[in-house]
Each structure stands twice: as C-alpha cells, then as structure tokens.
Amino acid sequence: MATIAPRSGTAFLLKKGQRLKVIDPKGEQVADLVAYNADDTGEVISSGRSLDYASKLFLTTGDPIYSNRSNVMLRIAEDTVGRHDFLLTPCSKDTFRIIYGDEHPHQGCFGNLAEALAPFGICPDQIPVAFNCFMNVVIDPSGGLKVEPPLSKAGDHIVFEAEMDLFIGLTACSALQSNNYSFKPIDFEIFSRS
Amino acid sequence: MATIAPRSGTAFLLKKGQRLKVIDPKGEQVADLVAYNADDTGEVISSGRSLDYASKLFLTTGDPIYSNRSNVMLRIAEDTVGRHDFLLTPCSKDTFRIIYGDEHPHQGCFGNLAEALAPFGICPDQIPVAFNCFMNVVIDPSGGLKVEPPLSKAGDHIVFEAEMDLFIGLTACSALQSNNYSFKPIDFEIFSRS
C-alpha cells in the first residue's frame, strides 16, 4: 500500500491484468486518474468515447474505460461508492485563478500529473479529462454543474483492472470544492488478480 | 457560403476576430466542430476546461470555448438553437461497430476530420471531444445519455468568433441517431465582424 500526500500526485506502470485499488482513507477525498498506453503514449483514456459507448455519465463496476483509439484500457472491477466524475479536467493553476480567484495559485492536479508523468515522456498537453474517482458532480435539469462533497466514506475504494500495459497518473486532488474543503491523502495498492 | 455534403467534413483557417457561422440548412442535422491553435496545434479545444469554468453542460451565446491550456479559443456570438453537445467524441468506425453493430462501418466524423486536418499537420490522436453543434443529448436523472433529434430547424445557426488564429475542422455528422435518421448537409460562412 502506498500513500499520496494531500495535494500531490504520482505516476507508475500498471501491467496488463494487474489491478489498481484506489482508496479514500479518510472519506470525501477525490483522486484524479489518467492512463496512457505504455507502448505508445499517444493513446490515452477518453471521456468522450467511454461515455458515448456506455450511454451514461456515471461509470461503475463492470464498465470499461476506452482510449481515444476506442480500445479498452481499464475496466472497473469493484466500486464501493458508485459516483465518480468523467466530465472535468484536472484542477490547475488556471482553475484556481478562474474559479477561485487565487492570486498565487497552487499547481493543482494538472501540475502534479505533469511533473509525475514527465519521466514517462508524457507532456502537459497530453493530459486529458481525468477519471475523477469519488468526485461528485451534480447536474441540474437545465445542465448546471455543481461540485458537491464526495459520497465516499473512510475506507471506500474503487478497483481498476488494466487491459493493456499502462502508465497511470494518480493524485490526491488539490481543489477545495471537490474535497469538502479539506485536503486529505489517497492510498493505493497494485495487485494481481488471485 | 460553403456547403459540407452529407457525411463529409472539411478544415480551414479562421483568423483571430473572424466569425464562423454554422448553419443547419434543412433542420435536425449535427455539425461536429474542433479547433486548434494555428501557431501551435498542441493547443486544442477542451470540453473539460470549458464545462468546468462555465459550471454548466450546455454552452450558448456569450460562452467561451477554452483550450487544454485554459486560453479562450472561440466565443459563441450568436445561437438560435441553444442546445449543443460537448460530451461526446466524433462518431467513428468504432462508434458504428460498437453502437450500431455495422460490419462495414463508415469512417464517420472522426475519419472525415482526420482526412481534412492532415494537411494542417494534425494527426488522428489529436482529435478531442468535439463541440457538436445542434446535437441534442438528453441526460436522465440517473445519468443515462440519450441522443435525441436536434432541436434545430431549417436555417437555424450558431456563430463563433475566433479569439486566436485557428485551424477549424467541421463536419456534417455521419451518425444516424444524431440526425433523426437522415443525413443532410451543413452550410457555413466566414466573415469579419462589421
């Protein structure tokens, strides 16, 4: 088990068939996840393909996460929460400037992912809409979006199985709204299906 | 005025300050739009940034379309419909294979955009979630997505103003569901604000 400190991020290889368990150890904490084909990092998770093929916004156990080339990269193997976001990009300096009006903005998940993914040859422009584990975006009937506290409680988790060798970027999200105004860590574990 | 034939696409330069009018000449026809910074095609429209900063799903008159670098690329200057999609990727061979079960699938908007954008040095992996003019995606309270006929009637249009020099890709969409099961053309016009 590894821990991602509050407002930070990491990146690692997840091999085909391995499982990644993302755990919210304290509750109400979002983790942004991105994934790239380890053999060709031009292939990346795609919200647009995944939501289109699933014909729904909220992916959960059994649902595949497709790439921009329409290949399945990950499949959700287990999910104790059932509410995640796949609409919004990782928070960034610009998010904090535009949405929060910060004068000296934190680099956010975007900056944390960019740093963590650089050693794998992935540049900032390649960071897509993330699969935001535990993020609770509520949509009103007119299409208004509101970021509400995650539904995850301490110990809740989501497990992904890799369907190809992947470079994964993963954060403990840095945005106040997403985490009920308290920055907490994220735990994760890699294991092989027994 | 130019016409995009049914199930085809085109690409062109739109200079800063110029306006692009996308017209649905017959009604109920979707047009997928993508845009790249003409000086650096690594910068591209971003659904995730645009929806996050607007805090809503349905963009219309006055709303900006942001890039993956959080710069405003386009602004919606006029909109006679008020319902467009910014969730889904352009239809593709894979869309027709996965959603429609076609054995010999059409290349779709994705293939049409890839062909039209190639002369500008843009490769297929760079095609993002498109701004799908007139596309009417209805979301039920549980997050289910349904593609319904566009609300656009003959002559309805949307006008974008460029906030930087852009390469634009534009299609007359090739997917049955999006166009109420009839493939029609799309008209467009480029002009300078008088």
Which tens digit of pLDDT belongs to each residue from B136-182?
999 998 999 999 999 999 999 999 999 999 999 999 999 999 999 99
Give the whole-angstrom CA distance, residue B50 versus residue B58. Answer: 10
Shortest Cα distance, chain A CAs vs residue B1, angstroms: 31
- What is the per-residue burial (b if ≥16 Cβ within 10 Å, else e) of A17-42? ebbbbbbbbbbbbbbbbbbbbbeebe
Q: Which of A:127-146 have CB within 8 Å of B?
A: 127-130, 139, 142-146
Which residue of chain A has the CA closest to B111? A69
Q: Which residue has the tokens 């085809």?
A: B8
Contact B142 A58 (CB under 8 A): yes
pLDDT, tens digit (0-9, with 9 covering 90-100), for B80-127? 999 999 999 999 999 999 888 888 999 999 999 999 999 999 999 999
Which domain, by its residues, includes B111? 2-192
DSSP labels for A13-80?
EE-TTEEEEEEESSBS--EEEEEEETT-TT-BB-HHHHHHHHTBS---TT-EEEBTTS-EEEEEEEES
pTM of the shown model? 0.96
Q: Which residue has the tokens 């959603």?
A: B99
Give the whole-angstrom CA distance, residue B180 versus residue B183. Answer: 8
- Count of CB contacts below 8 A, A vs B? 110
Q: What's the domain count of chain B? A: 1
Residue B18 contacts residue B191 (beta carbons within 8 Å): yes
Max intra-chain CA distance, chain A: 50
Shortest Cα distance, chain A CAs vs residue B57, angstroms: 5
The pLDDT assigned to B194 comes to: 65
Give the whole-angstrom CA distance, residue A27 versus residue B35. Answer: 39
In the predicted model, what is the mean pLDDT of residues A149-177? 97
Give the whole-angstrom CA distance, residue B167 versus residue B122. Answer: 10
